[in-house]
A and B are shown apart, each in its own frame.
Chain A
Amino acid sequence: DAGVIQSPRHEVTEMGQEVTLRCKPISGHNSLFWYRQTMMRGLELLIYFNNNVPIDDSGMPEDRFSAKMPNASFSTLKIQPSEPRDSAVYFCASSLSRVEQFFGPGTRLTVL
C-alpha cells in the first residue's frame, strides 16, 4: 500500500489567497483526520471524519477553514482567505475503526 498521500508537499502563497490541501487515505480505512503542527502549539487535531461524515470539527480555527470528504478515498482542507498565521505543517492521517492512525508526509504551508 502507498500509505496516506498528501498533496502538495509544499505550498507557498500570499495572504488572502485560497489554499487547498488534499489527502488520499489508505484504502479500506474508514476514519480520516486533519492535524496542524506548529512550533508554538504542537500537533492539533482540526477535524476528523468517520465514514466520510465529519464527527468533530471543534479544532477548526475559524470559518476560514473548511474540510470535505466527498468519498472514502479523498479529502480536502481549504483555507480561504489565507493568513500568515496559518503557516504550519498540515498532516492527514487515516485509520480503521478509529484505532491506530497512519500519517501522511504532511504539507508545509507558508503564507507570505
Chain B
Amino acid sequence: AQSVTQPDIHITVSEGASLELRCNYSYGATPYLFWYVQSPGQGLQLLLKYFSGDTLVQGIKGFEAEFKRSQSSFNLRKPSVHWSDAAEYFCAVGAGYGGSQGNLIFGKGTKLSVKP
C-alpha cells in the first residue's frame, strides 16, 4: 500500500537559516510527488510537484525538492527561511495517476516555526 512518512512533526529554524523537510514514500511504481503548504486556518497550497524528468524541481516561494529514487525520498529545501514561511507542510504521493485512481496519500505534516 502507498504511504508517506514525514519523520519530523515540528521543526524550528531561525529566520535566514536553511531548511530541509524530510519525506519518505512507499509506492510500487514511479510516484507522482507533491509538497503542499497550509497556513493556519487556510486550505492547502501546492508548492511544487514531481512527475518525471529532472529530479530537482523548483517551486513557488523559493522552495525546491529533490527526488531520490534509491532513498524513496522527496525532501523539501529552502536556502533562507523567511518568517512568513511558518506553516505546516505536507508531502503527498499520487496513487495511480493515469489509471482508475486519482487520490493523493498525504503524510502527517511537519509544522515549521521560524524564530526571529
Residues of A within 8 A of B34 (CB): 100
Bound-state CA distance A90–B43 (Å) is 10
A106 within 8 A of B: yes
Query: In this complex, which of B42, B46, B102 has the most chain A Cβ atoms within 10 angstroms of its Cβ?
Result: B102
Q: Pick the contact of B90 from A43, A102, A105 — CB < 8 Å?
A: A43
Q: Are A55 and B100 in contact (CB under 8 A)?
A: yes
A93-107 interface bits toward B, Cβ cutoff 8 Å, 1 = contact, 0 = none: 101001111111110
Q: Are B103 and A105 in contact (CB under 8 A)?
A: no
A-B contact count (CB 8 A): 49
B109 within 8 A of A: yes
Which residues 32-55 of A have a CB within 8 angstroms of B? 33, 42-43, 45, 48, 50, 55
Q: Are A43 and B106 in contact (CB under 8 A)?
A: yes
How many chain A residues sit at the interface, stated as a range, is 20 to 34
Interface of A is mostly: strand
| Tally of chain B residues near chain A (CB < 8 A) | 23
Shortest Cβ gap from A52 to chain B (Å): 14
B66-105 interface bits toward A, Cβ cutoff 8 Å, 1 = contact, 0 = none: 0000000000000000000000001000100100111111
Residues of A within 8 A of B101 (CB): 55-56, 98
Shortest Cβ gap from A38 to chain B (Å): 11
Instruction: Enumerate chain B interface residues (CB-CB to A < 8 A).
Output: 32, 34, 36, 42-46, 49, 51, 90, 94, 97, 100-109
Instruction: Enumerate chain A interface residues (CB-CB to B < 8 A).
Output: 4, 31, 33, 42-43, 45, 48, 50, 55-56, 91, 93, 95, 98-106
